[in-house]
């Protein structure tokens, strides 16, 4: 990508939203724990979200079910509705991430299914150190086989190390374990990865919203608007079905509560970080925008949390966009009014007097600034319609 290219000459330059790096989520877990099953579930329930997938082989991905649209090239497959899938070994990962993150594909999120024997720390290190400005590390999801938990830990002590760096743990195969065993495992997980949310599932059926924002099927391009986030949260919170394209049988939507918070006033960065640091383990996902209004930091801060993983992405406000904070909080068993009360307490009536160092806590979680909307595009065809789009 070359951001120093001159802008294309045009009388009426199109208004473009800021381009944000694509989150890359690592899906890890011991052999047979259910990673591919979970990935298939995500692919089948992604709404209009465009998912880039990196797997070790295509064997177990339900490519047929996804209606393959055609080969994109090399070992990449374009799946109907906007998924891309590629099969790689470790050494090729960088190259494939570069391909998947090419603007022409308009991918919203990339999921890497790590091999059952992979060290997720290595992958995280590689992603964090990546010089590809189009991607950012988006968190580690560790899949645990409830039926094999003890045996796996006994044979593979490294499992504990993997759990310690997880942002979200999926306790899978709950259908194969007794309730008492599940309770004991949940306690052991709480000790192994304190504060990390643990989501119970069978056949990997978790709410995809825990990992990424699901676009409505009708939306095929552009950035996800906050209205979309709100409407998606409403859909999942109310357990309503989407447009009929998806089979929601057995989905976990109804298990999750969603809480919306809007503030016309700025939020105090220290109090907000304190709120995030203390967020309950059942609060799996937070997304939205925050206005801090601290001198020198008046940008819009997109906030993105998956489990314990937290990222802020600063970017410009849209023209005429009101300076306000808007958040959607999704969790299980969370106390909505209490969360709202805590967020109310983060309001800051005089942000202009806040010292710049009050932003340090936030800046710890900033990867890199988003490219401003008025900077030249890296590629001329970024928003060209996809001929494969239905």
Ligand X SMILES: Nc1nc2c(ncn2[C@@H]2O[C@H](COP(=O)(O)OP(=O)(O)OP(=O)(O)O)[C@@H](O)[C@H]2O)c(=O)[nH]1
Supply the minimum distance, in Å, between the C-beta of residue 320 and ligand X.
Answer: 47
Residue 304's alpha-carbon distances to 91, 291, 329, in angstroms, are 29, 14, 10
Q: Does 41 bind ligand X (CB under 6 A)?
A: no
Nearest-5° angle of CA 358, CA 364, CA 368?
A: 115
Closer CB to ligand X, residue 173 or residue 279?
173
Stretch that binds ligand X, among 6-14, 30-38, 213-221, 341-349 (CB under 6 A): 30-38
Number of residues binding to ligand X, judged by CB under 6 A: 17
Q: Does 44 bind ligand X (CB under 6 A)?
A: no
Interaction residues for ligand X, span 101-140 (CB under 6 A): 116
Interaction residues for ligand X, span 209-268 (CB under 6 A): none
Dihedral of the CA atoms 230, 235, 236, 242 (nearest 10)?
Answer: -130
Stretch that binds ligand X, among 32-40, 91-99, 277-285, 300-308 (CB under 6 A): 32-40
Which residue has the closest beta carbon to ligand X? 116
Supply the minimum distance, in Å, between the C-beta of residue 44 and ligand X.
Answer: 13
Q: Does 34 bind ligand X (CB under 6 A)?
A: yes
Supply the minimum distance, in Å, between the C-beta of residue 280 and ligand X.
Answer: 26
Q: Does 156 bind ligand X (CB under 6 A)?
A: no
Extended strands (E) in 351-390:
none
Q: Which of 17, 32, 80, 133 binds ligand X (CB under 6 A)?
A: 32
Supply the minimum distance, in Å, between the C-beta of residue 15 and ligand X.
Answer: 43
What φ, ψ does residue 165 adopt, rounded to 5°?
A: -100, 5
Task: Give CA–CA dist 161/159, Å, rounded.
Answer: 5
Closer CB to ligand X, residue 59 or residue 387?
59
Q: Does 155 bind ligand X (CB under 6 A)?
A: no
**HSE-CB for 318 with a 13 A CA cutoff:** 12
- The owner of tokens 């710890």 is 364
What φ, ψ does residue 158 adopt, rounded to 5°?
A: -65, -15
Q: Does 175 bind ligand X (CB under 6 A)?
A: yes
Q: Does 173 bind ligand X (CB under 6 A)?
A: yes
User: Over the Cα atoms of the chain, what is R_g?
Assistant: 21
Q: Are 42 and 113 in contact (CB under 8 A)?
A: no
Supply the minimum distance, in Å, between the C-beta of residue 74 and ligand X.
Answer: 22
Q: Does 33 bind ligand X (CB under 6 A)?
A: yes
Q: Which of 16, 17, 44, 60 binds ligand X (CB under 6 A)?
A: 60
Q: Does 29 bind ligand X (CB under 6 A)?
A: yes
Q: Does 31 bind ligand X (CB under 6 A)?
A: yes
Candidates 163, 186, 161, 162; CA nearest to 174 is 186
Stretch that binds ligand X, among 13-21, 170-178, 207-215, 310-318 (CB under 6 A): 170-178
Q: If DSSP codes are grouped into helix, strand and coil, which group holds residue 102?
A: coil
Q: If DSSP codes are grouped into helix, strand and coil, which group holds residue 34?
A: coil
Task: Give CA–CA dist 21/137, Å, rounded.
Answer: 9
Burial class (CB in 10 A: 0-12, 13-18, 19+), 288: buried
Stretch that binds ligand X, among 25-33, 95-103, 289-297, 321-329 (CB under 6 A): 25-33
Supply the minimum distance, in Å, between the C-beta of residue 308 and ligand X.
Answer: 22
Q: Are 298 and 226 in contact (CB under 8 A)?
A: no
DSSP designation for 109 = E
Provide the binding-site residues for ligand X, judged by CB under 6 A. Answer: 29, 31-37, 60, 116, 172-173, 175-176, 202-204
């Amino acid at each position: 990508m070359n951001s120093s290219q001159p802008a294309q000459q045009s009388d009426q330059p199109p208004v473009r939203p800021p381009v944000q790096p694509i989150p890359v989520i690592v899906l890890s877990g011991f052999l047979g724990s259910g990673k591919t099953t979970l990935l298939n579930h995500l692919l089948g329930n992604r709404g209009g979200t465009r998912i880039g997938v990196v797997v070790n082989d295509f064997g177990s991905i339900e490519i047929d079910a996804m209606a393959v649209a055609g080969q994109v090239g090399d070992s990449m497959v374009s799946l109907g509705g906007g998924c891309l899938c590629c099969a790689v070994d470790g050494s090729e990962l960088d190259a494939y991430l570069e391909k998947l993150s090419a603007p022409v594909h308009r991918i919203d999120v990339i999921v890497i299914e790590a091999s059952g024997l992979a060290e997720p720390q290595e992958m995280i290190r590689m992603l964090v150190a990546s010089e590809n400005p189009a991607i950012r590390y988006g968190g580690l999801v560790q899949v645990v086989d409830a039926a094999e938990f003890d045996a796996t830990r006994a044979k593979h002590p490294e499992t504990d190390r993997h759990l310690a760096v997880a942002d979200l743990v999926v306790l899978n195969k709950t259908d194969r374990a007794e309730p008492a065993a599940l309770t004991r495992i949940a306690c052991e997980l709480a000790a192994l990865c304190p504060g990390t949310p643990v989501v119970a599932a069978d056949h990997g059926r978790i709410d995809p919203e825990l990992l990424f924002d699901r676009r409505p099927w009708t939306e095929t391009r552009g950035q996800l608007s906050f209205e979309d986030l709100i409407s998606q949260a409403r859909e999942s919170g109310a357990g309503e079905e989407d447009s009929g394209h998806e089979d929601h049988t057995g989905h976990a939507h109804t298990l999750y509560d969603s809480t919306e918070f809007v503030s016309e006033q700025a939020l105090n960065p220290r109090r907000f970080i304190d709120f995030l640091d203390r967020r309950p383990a059942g609060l799996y996902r937070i997304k939205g925008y925050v206005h801090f209004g601290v001198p020198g930091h008046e940008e819009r801060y997109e906030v993105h949390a998956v489990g314990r993983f937290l990222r802020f992405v600063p970017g410009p406000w849209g023209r005429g966009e009101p300076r306000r904070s808007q958040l959607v909080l999704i969790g299980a068993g969370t106390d909505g009014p209490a969360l709202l009360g805590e967020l109310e307490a983060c309001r800051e009536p005089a942000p202009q007097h806040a010292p710049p160092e009050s932003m340090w806590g936030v800046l710890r979680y900033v990867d890199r600034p988003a490219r401003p909307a008025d900077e030249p595009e890296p590629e001329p065809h970024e928003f060209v319609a996809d001929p494969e789009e239905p």
